[in-house]
Amino acid sequence: MRKFTMVTLLLFIAVVASPVVAHEFWLQPNTYTPAPESKVSIDHNYGQYFKGDGLPYVGEWHQRYVVWDAGKLRKVSGFDGDLPAIQMAFDDDGLKIFGYFGTPEPQVYDTLEKYEKYVRKVGLDHIVDKHRERGKPKTKIRELYARNAKLLLGVGNAQGTDRALGLPLELVAGLNPYRLKPGETLPVSLLYKGSPIEGVAIFTFSAADPKKPVKAVTDANGRAAIALPASGAYLLNAVHMFEPATGEKADWTSLWASLTFAVR
């Protein structure tokens, strides 16, 4: 286990505080299909195109971190500075469902051009018109965003089904991906505060071809069909943006949802 140095931590904070175009966050294990009682390392990854840097465990960076295991929820915890962020083992077989809800973070875009480039890249083209129609700033555009990351870990026989963990924005798999074969389709639902949300883009990144994400859009029931052309790891990412709550010092609020799993 490696500790995060203060210099590296400060460099990381500088990176995430800068306005970048697309900034996925996901939970990535060293193996998606561990055997029972074997230790699993889970990275908190930040980056693009399913490539990123592992971040340390820092308790203040999340509001909720849980895993559904053996029919109940339990808290996931670590020590500040740990890399990998999490190391743990499971006594029994089954589908283990991790859910991470991050602490809201501010981000500022210097120009409208940079902001529009960002929102279009994550499938939020309608926000461009809304921003202009509502007379929001053309410079120093403030966004308050929070991460909602899930991981489906297939321990042993990997039996089980995904379920909603109560994240503000949450991707839920309709089938167990560890029971699917390459070439099959995974139905997913996107929930906002527990209810299906329509018209949100879901981008699928395959570890086999990460530079070519596939876009799907949720229907009236919040559902989308995700093609799984190859074996290996997958990352699903969706962003929902809306007006900030009263008193929030932001022009927009956004929630980022990710889901990682593998197909054998």
**Strand duo 195-196 + 232-242: pairing:** unpaired
User: Has residue 11 got a pLDDT over 60?
Assistant: no
Listed by start position, the domains of the chain span 2-263
**Quick one: pLDDT band at residue 23, thresholds 50, 70, 90?**
confident
Average pLDDT score over residue span 64-92: 96
Taking alpha carbons only, the member of 141, 103, 248 closest to residue 130 is 141
Average pLDDT score over residue span 115-127: 95
**Quick one: pLDDT band at residue 46, thresholds 50, 70, 90?**
very high
User: Has residue 7 got a pLDDT over 90?
Assistant: no
Looking at 2.60.40.10, 1.10.3720.10, 3.20.130.10, 2.60.40.1170, the CATH number of the domain 2-263 comes to 2.60.40.10
Give per-residue pLDDT as tens, 214-256: 999 999 999 999 999 999 999 999 999 999 999 999 999 999 9
pTM of the model as a whole: 0.93
